[in-house]
């Protein structure tokens, strides 16, 4: 693997406190024959039991959880984030242990971890741009102010990536998840590129994504060594077309067009704890 070592920018930090959080995406199909085999009273109790579990989880400190009604490839989707992997594992068993959970079959799951991208722009990058492109004097007040502002923005961005907060459901009710990797083919091996070239390509990719600020918010997590793909991408939005637009545009981005591999797409609509019966037609 060709990836030369590089000197770390002091503004990037020592790595302390940068450990990411486990993130689980779980997609399940309701086995309706088994569900219909339960007595009506038991089905009612099963719905109440599951809704109570969702409500408890949504109110639990440290645990972020979203339930969504998946369109087509599954019935129920769960997105869960917690600092403890043990808590995420126990959540899967809590779901399975309910009466409704006994009628759910997992069709796809994806385990990943939040992280700060290695390609994030540094204050050093910004400082060089200010000097080389903008002609600022590095001893000037304007230069120092801009570098300080950049460092503050990047620090907040890194914190958001490492310790993500799931967006409000009222603002972003539509969810799209898909896994992806980078190619390792003869002549198209992402990991044979230099770090500088990979960073350039990812910078162009990020620029395309920023054009959708306010319309789409995203959660990008790493799954290398944890699952069959290298990253998981979760998009949150208000309308279906926004998902189509951002994915379509980014596939023309050089990094994706030449090196991107995409897995299955799962789209759903967020479910409040009390809306489970209607959403799944239980």
Distance CA 207, CA 201 (A): 10
Q: Is 159 helix (H, G, I), strand (E, B) or coil?
A: helix
Query: Under a CB-based contact definition with an 8 Å cutoff, are residues 219 and 156 in contact?
Result: no
Tokens 């486990």, located at residue:
22
Segment (H or E) for 279: helix 276-280
Assigned token pair, 155: 């620090």
113 closest CA partner among 25, 17, 223, 236:
223
- Phi and psi torsions of 232, nearest 5°: -115, 135
Query: Under a CB-based contact definition with an 8 Å cutoff, are residues 73 and 28 in contact?
Result: no
Active site residue 248: no
Q: Name the β-bridge partners of 277.
A: none
The single residue of 108, 172, 178, 266 carrying the catalytic annotation is 178
In sequence order, what E strands does the chain have? 22-30, 64-70, 76-81, 104-114, 174-182, 184-185, 188-189, 216-222, 231-237, 260-262, 266-271
- Phi and psi torsions of 6, nearest 5°: -140, 155
- Phi and psi torsions of 229, nearest 5°: -115, 175
Distance CA 91, CA 80 (A): 9
Enumerate the active-site residues.
178
């Amino acid at each position: 693997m060709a990836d030369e070592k590089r000197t770390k920018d002091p503004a990037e930090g020592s790595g302390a406190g940068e450990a990411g959080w486990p993130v689980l995406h779980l997609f399940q199909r309701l086995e309706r024959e088994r569900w219909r085999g339960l007595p009506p009273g038991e089905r009612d109790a099963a719905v109440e039991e599951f809704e109570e579990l969702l409500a408890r989880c949504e109110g639990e400190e440290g645990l972020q959880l979203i339930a969504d009604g998946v369109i087509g490839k599954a019935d129920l989707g769960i997105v869960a984030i917690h600092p403890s992997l043990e808590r995420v594992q126990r959540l899967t068993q809590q779901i399975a242990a309910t009466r409704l959970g006994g009628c759910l079959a997992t069709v796809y799951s994806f385990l990943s971890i939040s992280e700060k991208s290695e390609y994030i722009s540094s204050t050093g990058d910004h400082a060089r741009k200010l000097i080389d492109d903008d002609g600022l004097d590095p001893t000037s007040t304007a230069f120092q102010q801009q570098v300080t502002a950049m460092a503050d923005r990047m620090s907040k961005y890194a914190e958001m990536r490492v310790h993500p907060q799931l967006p409000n459901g009222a603002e972003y009710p539509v969810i799209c998840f898909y896994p992806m990797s980078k190619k390792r083919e003869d002549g198209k091996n992402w990991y044979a590129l230099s770090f500088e070239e990979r960073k350039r390509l990812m910078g162009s990719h990020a620029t395309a994504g920023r054009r959708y600020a306010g319309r789409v918010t995203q959660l990008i997590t790493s799954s290398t060594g944890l699952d069959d793909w290298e990253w998981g991408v979760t998009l949150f939005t208000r309308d279906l077309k926004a998902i189509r637009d951002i994915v379509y545009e980014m596939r023309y981005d050089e990094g994706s067009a030449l090196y991107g591999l995409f897995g299955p797409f799962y789209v759903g609509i967020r479910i409040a704890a009390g809306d489970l019966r209607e959403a799944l037609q239980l």
